[in-house]
Amino acid sequence: MPTTDVEAFVPAAIQFNDVEDVIAFLDALGASPMIEPGLVELDHALQCAAELKALRPDDEELQVAGLVHDIAHGRCHIRDHDRVGAEALRPIFGDRVANLVALHVEAKRYLVVADDGYRARLSPVSIKTMELQGGAMNTAEIAAFEAKPNAQDACLLRMADEAAKLAGRDVPGLNAWIDTLRHVASSRS
């Protein structure tokens, strides 16, 4: 179960054998409190995926990345959850989904420098976790991030991530995403 202490380290392996394991894991997140007040992890994941579906209705990989981007919360230190989650998901959903998950923390660090209004949209918890994750990017980090193939989509994921923190927001439940999860897993690249 995820912790509410953003500085806690909870070592645990994450391994999925197939998409059905991921679905079961997501379902269990319905009882896992998020480090953001008033939300559980599944609510946040569903809101993020819904945001991305509204923005890019034909990009199922991006939507799935939104649904699973924080799957390692509470399973490792908050500064590592992007990489740990990406590597656990890569065999199931392929490189693009994993790379987007891996880049969503870097995208936050990038956007606070590249987008003048972005920092003001961050929740207090996101600001604290960003500092634990390396803070705002420097010039060399910005150039390296911008050169990555999925950087722009990772920024879109990150903006959806910040918008997906509304307690009680009505979005489709996990059952609405099962076919999409299975489709992306079956066509992974």
Q: Provide the phi-psi class of 168: left if phi over 0, else alpha when psi is between -120 and 50, else beta.
A: left
What DSSP assignment string belongs to 99-144?
A: HHHHHHHHHHHHHHHH-TTHHHHS-HHHHHHHHHTT-S--HHHHHH
Distance CA 162, CA 85 (A): 18
List of domains in the chain: 19-166+173-186 (1.10.3210.10)
Average pLDDT along the chain, 189 residues, taken 10 residues at a time:
42 81 91 77 95 98 97 72 91 98 95 94 88 93 97 97 91 97 90
Q: Cβ atoms within 10 A of the Cβ of 5, count? A: 11
Asked whether the beta carbons of 126 and 108 are under 8 A apart, the reply is yes
The pLDDT value given to residue 125: 86
Task: Tokens for 57, please give them.
Answer: 């209705």
